[in-house]
Structure 1
């Protein structure tokens, strides 16, 4: 007799990942099937778990096989506050329901998503330099130009074909420091791009190119660290360099279209958008060469709709993926079925106990992630390990050290 996948429990869990916390949703059915998803509260999203815990009861007694029906019910219940952490909560729920459905049918999630069009997905090594600059969490740490050279060389040495890096300042002794005013480091609400930042970025990219060699693709992430004027300054400074893309975050599609029209490099964006309606203006304005979709935020099923719309506008897509291994697997199943996939983000640098937290790890070979054919997403959190690393109380955007007081 086929299992009916009636939801009996909805539960959130979390654990420490040294400098942030990992967050998971566990959905259990009356048949004993367990589905998982991973979500995030560190990237400007405190409170996602609280939203899930407030609305998850509406799924109890309903079949996970009808995941679109359940999502629409939750969307109706939260419509006045849609988007933001509410949207991310719906995405986490959708992804866990997809895992339940696939495990109930004993198939990989990519089968539910339409079937794979590729067996492996090209990836790039994200946060290259950025993570190792967190010297108390990653080994070997990077503090100066020698460390930058070493990791750029290591990318190709380990078989990867692409890396993504960020903006760094260099001092007189060649020590590095990150620059991201869009995220408050340093605190500069104007987000002005000055001469030193331009020169140091150019130097950083030239150092990485020389160390990585001519055959490694280099991606640059400018995040929210400028305004239209500043982004144009960056693009003029680096227009003659060999870059795979320049990633820019702005919420104004017309501004981004203007920036793109002045860029000699492909422009990627949209990683912080939720829902097809937020993506459409960027497609209509021809604002991006590559639309980046955060599938944990949007839900993989909804992300397929966004990717289909992008294809109608002759735009390729990529994944926003700097979370744990479950998110990587979720993104891999999405990437395997989407025809207009450009490349997938992944973090290679990991903290010491990261591998303990999941039952299976992603498999990489020659710069590609090899798709799993295990049921569901192909991995799940190890609950015993989660308990061994309890979540930190002092991390996340709402708990950062407050700003110094201004003089009165």
Structure 2
């Protein structure tokens, strides 16, 4: 069996695009993966297609060889987009191999250690506050009372944990996201904290606590939006909420180590790190309680290696998963295969029509996703549905 073709596909997902990779073989097997074209990864699809000639004609079953071949061709610019492109190709090849052998991907790599995966409702309220219903198909939230009611819905639907972002009154009868670390709104580029923003972080998380109840795992993600000083102020202010974790993005090991040392809640980090080499100094410094691994960026095989390394330091892992439903399925296979799992991220509000793009949407029961059991990922891309919703300009 030989790799015959590689094609990228993109579709409209409301306020963003979903992107998929299709790898075909000369024997008719098709492998699928999902990748993230936007949010700092512009041009990724073109890079994947540029790497395609290297693997055309190779045996898709020899995934480690293909991965190492691509790594050596890109080693002078390790990580970043190159890693994400390699990951997309490797993930699609795992789908092919599972289908060829008639087994789910997790069975290729030690087998499942669990058949149900605890998931948390991510970006809870964040998307509903930020985007109009015309873009997402879900109703907007305009105040903290609305956040509390949403948290009640989360609890009623059986979820035991949720994650949100800092939301502040916008002065126009709604809420706005505090996102200076991504170049949006006030606070860019200084990333200084202010009493107003710290109060907003507290009020956001407290609204979720009040609606979700005392047993709800409430998490707050501050991304790259603050310097360590601001993160520590927020951690202090949110002590009454009792966070399940405070999520922080930084590429400086010592900054995260300092935050973890003084914070009164667990610290989660790592979603933007690529490969074991990036995670190594953070693990050695014991700078995080939960290592967040992006399986779509790193690739399934590399993610397993990162998780195994994290376990040496007694650290559990959680996949970063704010993409489409195929990504959720891929992440579920990862969660099924690793022993040191904390919980899995999933977007419920992403876009109302996201289930259209896959043949078998994830099944969630009482806050847990059922591990797929079909060959490969156990889920294919609905190519007709993807092509029927081309990306908006």
TM-score by length of 1: 0.93
Cα drift, residue 170 of structure 1 = 2.3
Aligned position for 2:331:
331
2:119 is equivalent to residue 123 of structure 1 = yes
Superposition pairs for residues 300-319 of structure 1, below 5 Å?
300-319=300-319
Q: Distance in 2 between matches of 1:43 and 1:112?
A: 31
Cα drift, residue 353 of structure 1 = 2.1
Cα drift, residue 63 of structure 1 = 0.6
Q: Deviations over 1:327-362 (max 9, x none)?
A: 000000000010000000001114232121110100
> Is the Cα–Cα contact under 8 Å of residues 95 and 377 in structure 2 kept in the other structure?
yes
Q: Distance in 2 between matches of 1:212 and 1:291?
A: 25
Aligned position for 2:135:
137
1:98 pairs, out of 71, 94, 98, with 94
Aligned position for 1:397:
none
2:6 pairs, out of 10, 15, 22, with 10
SS in 2 for 1:341: coil
Aligned position for 2:156:
157
Aligned position for 1:21:
17
Cα drift, residue 272 of structure 1 = 0.2
Aligned position for 1:67:
63
Structure 1 range deviating more: 344-353 or 136-145: 136-145
Q: Distance in 1 between matches of 2:229 and 2:191?
A: 10
Aligned residue pairs, count: 389
Q: Distance in 1 between matches of 2:170 and 2:353?
A: 33
Superposition pairs for residues 39-58 of structure 1, below 5 Å?
39-58=35-54
Cα drift, residue 372 of structure 1 = 1.1
Q: Distance in 2 between matches of 1:172 and 1:12?
A: 42
Aligned position for 2:221:
221
Aligned position for 1:354:
354
Gaps of 5+ in 1: 394-408
> Is the Cα–Cα contact under 8 Å of residues 144 and 203 in structure 2 kept in the other structure?
no
Aligned position for 1:86:
82
Cα drift, residue 390 of structure 1 = 0.7
Q: Deviations over 1:13-56 (max 9, x none)?
A: 11111111111111111110000000001221111111111111
Aligned position for 1:169:
168
TM-score by length of 2: 0.97
Structure 1 range deviating more: 166-175 or 200-209: 166-175
Aligned position for 1:237:
237
SS in 2 for 1:314: coil
Cα drift, residue 174 of structure 1 = 6.3
Aligned position for 2:259:
259
> Is the Cα–Cα contact under 8 Å of residues 145 and 175 in structure 1 kept in the other structure?
no
Aligned position for 2:73:
77
Cα drift, residue 146 of structure 1 = 3.2
SS in 1 for 2:176: strand
Q: Distance in 2 between matches of 1:352 and 1:176?
A: 21
Structure 1 range deviating more: 143-152 or 109-118: 143-152
Cα drift, residue 123 of structure 1 = 0.4
SS in 2 for 1:318: strand
Q: Deviations over 1:303-339 (max 9, x none)?
A: 0000000000111100000000000000000000100
Structure 1 range deviating more: 107-116 or 166-175: 166-175
Gaps of 5+ in 2: none
Structure 1 range deviating more: 266-275 or 238-247: 238-247
SS in 2 for 1:137: helix
SS in 2 for 1:372: coil
2:29 is equivalent to residue 33 of structure 1 = yes
> Is the Cα–Cα contact under 8 Å of residues 113 and 334 in structure 1 kept in the other structure?
no
SS in 2 for 1:232: helix
